[in-house]
Amino acid sequence: MTTTVPKLRPSLKRGSPGLSLERDLWADESTVVVGIDEVGRGAWAGPLTVAAAVVPRDRRIYKIRDSKMLHEEEREAMFERVADWVDYWGVGHASNEECDELGMSEAQRLAARRALDGLGVTGDHYLVDGNWDFVGGARTIVKGDAKSLSIAAASILAKVTRDRIMRGWDPHFPGYNFAANKGYPCPIQKAHLQHMGPSSLHRRSWVFMDHLVWNGVERVHRQLQDELPFPD
């Protein structure tokens, strides 16, 4: 069933991501440029998710924006359109257990490898949102999801995929409000953590967990506590 995409809000009509970065890298018809984005690094619970996307050169769809600029219903409406439009796409996850065991940086690399393994094509060039190359040999672009159509497409695929996972977990973890907060910090989740302690879906190696009530879920300690959570 095709979902009708809402009209763009006035605040979104300007500054749409384009293909100038991709065109700079397209040497010939066989050159594959991959846009990559991640979500979930700053969450307290759930996976860290990376998406990779290869957009077509000769077909455009409108209303693609950085996923953070879109409301949830707008992202959901765009997801199928984007998935059908791109030439290739893949999504990879690092579980909350892997985030604890590996640390966030290595977990991000792992999720990226999984996304690229599932892409279905080998890239010649990689465009990564942000200022850190967690792929290896990629070009990093600060605010790339607002500049590159490939990265913006990947941002929608990553965000919606992860949001759906967290909504699916919500009935199994009552009180944490995962359907609404998707595992990110919020007053309701913080209050429930203080009262009931973390669930098995939470990342349990972070420093902020030190002063919580522990309810039988095993505490995780990493030798190096140099990676603190921060927002996407």
For residues 78 and 158, the answer to whether their CB atoms sit within 8 Å is: no
51 half-sphere exposure, CB direction, 13 A CA radius: 26
What's the pTM value of the predicted model, to 2 decimals? Answer: 0.86
What residue ranges do the domains of the chain occupy? 13-169, 172-211
State the Cα–Cα distance between residues 36 and 91, nearest whole angstrom: 10
221: confidence class by pLDDT, cuts 50, 70, 90: low
Q: What is the number of other CB atoms lying within 10 angstroms of the CB of residue 147? A: 20
Per residue in 109-129, pLDDT (tens digit) is 999 999 999 999 999 999 999
Q: Phi first, then psi: what are they for 214, rounded to 5°?
A: -110, 130
Query: 13-169 maps to which CATH number?
Result: 3.30.420.10
Q: Residue 173: helix, strand or coil by DSSP?
A: coil
Distance between CA atoms of 112 and 122, rounded to whole angstroms?
13
Coil vs helix vs strand at 129: strand
Q: How sure is the predictor about 217, in pLDDT bands with cuts at 50, 70 and 90?
A: low
